[in-house]
Structure 1
Amino acid sequence: MTHFSRRSLLIGLGSAAVLTACGNGLNSTGSAVIDARVDRTLNELYSNYPGTSDLRDKSVGQLVMPLVTEAGFGVGGSYGRGALRVGGASVDYYSSAQASIGLQIGAQQYAHVLFFMTEQSLQDFRNSQGWAAGADIEYAISNRGEEMSADTTTQLSPVIGVVFGQAGLRAGATIEGTKYTRIIP
């Protein structure tokens, strides 16, 4: 029989409350909710970073994660849900999850979009059991997306990641090491 201390019970309840309060869509289900968030996210991206429209036009698909919540205190993690768009329509839905350990403290939320620039990269993503973002992703935006050109970035990588809309008290957002898994909303 396992004995739980009062401290471990309180820590567990507190962690559950933090994740519930994050507003990252864990409790909202349905493709219509995810699609509405994806539409708003893409509108914000293309309005604030006009150079990303060129990426959209040259890509064969986009994985849009409208809201990813990341938190850490020594051990950390992130979670979000989004949609894969091909030809402007949602064809699949995915969750993203990441775990980390190390010197970290704080929480933040951000959005990200993966632009698949080749049919092969899109096919590899869709056929995988769980695709992990690695060092082969080229990051297109830091602060000045309007200066970006798809001609130069597509030569570097078949998948281009755009992280934007960071808010919170944790420095830096990265999607490297994030695992994407197909879900049924």
Structure 2
Amino acid sequence: MKIRNFIVTMALMFVTVFAFAQNKDDKRVMKDAEKAISTMKSYDVGLEKFFTNSSGYVVFPNVGEGALIIGAASGNGVVYEDGMPVGMADMKKLDIGLQAGGEAYMQVIFFETEDALNEFKQGNFEFSAEAKAVIVDKGASKNANYNDGVVIFAKSKAGAMADVSIGGQKFNYSEF
């Protein structure tokens, strides 16, 4: 009986510690996402219309990318619906081609419709080589438009990449 109670107690402690560790990571990403939103809006005030009028968006505040012929990128983000966080997302990217370097950047993906947002949340969402991000700079959002219900904005944080490659991004979503 004592052994059984000990095992149950240890299992509960393990689950509790693991759950708090996950929440701590999510809270850090959420805090970074709010900073990324402020930073991007300060570079281009026109982004406000996308934050206000979209059905939802996902903010990846810290995407890291590196490449030498074969490239990879990864980042964690926060999914917002009606301006409120509803879940977490992660992004993985793999590509091949003439490329070298490394960089860190912020990325925001806006969903024009509920259908586009739900497709993302259901895990049926990928970007192919044809998807292009609008680089956030003063006034860049003025001419940006949705393509198939989606528009992407990116802002470089550090590093440099020379990149002529083909690949795609894959996303996973987990609801709170």
Shorter-chain TM band: 0.7 to 0.9
Which of 41, 44, 57 matches 1:49?
Answer: 44
Are 1:107 and 2:106 matched, yes or no? no
Distance 1:35 1:60, change over 3 A: same
Structure in which a larger fraction of residues adopt strand: 2
Structure 1 residue 30: Cα displacement: 2.3
Does the 8 Å CA contact 1:136/1:157 hold for their aligned counterparts?
A: no
- Residue by residue over 1:65-113, the C-alpha shift from the partner in whole angstroms, topping out at 9 and shown as x without a partner, is 0011000112210010011011222111111111112222111111100
- Identity among equivalent pairs (%): 21
Does the 8 Å CA contact 1:110/1:173 hold for their aligned counterparts?
A: no
Which of 32, 35, 40 matches 1:37?
Answer: 32
TM-score by length of 1: 0.72
Are 1:142 and 2:128 matched, yes or no? no
Give the alignment of 1:53-132 within 5 angstroms: 53-128=48-123, 131-132=125-126
CA-atom RMSD in angstroms: 2.9
Distance 1:40 1:170, change over 3 A: same
Structure 1 residue 62: Cα displacement: 0.8
Q: What is the aligned length?
A: 155
Alpha-carbon separation, structure 2, partners of 1:66 and 1:110: 7
Which residue is 1:153 aligned to? 145
* Structure 2 gaps, min length 5: 1-21
* Structure 1 gaps, min length 5: 1-26
Distance 1:127 1:173, change over 3 A: farther
User: Larger Cα Rg: Structure 1 or Structure 2?
Assistant: 2
Alpha-carbon separation, structure 1, partners of 2:150 and 2:57: 9
- Residue by residue over 1:125-158, the C-alpha shift from the partner in whole angstroms, topping out at 9 and shown as x without a partner, is 1122x5212367564x3354525348x714x441
Does the 8 Å CA contact 1:72/1:107 hold for their aligned counterparts?
A: yes
Distance 1:28 1:67, change over 3 A: farther
Give the partner amino acid of 2:128.
G
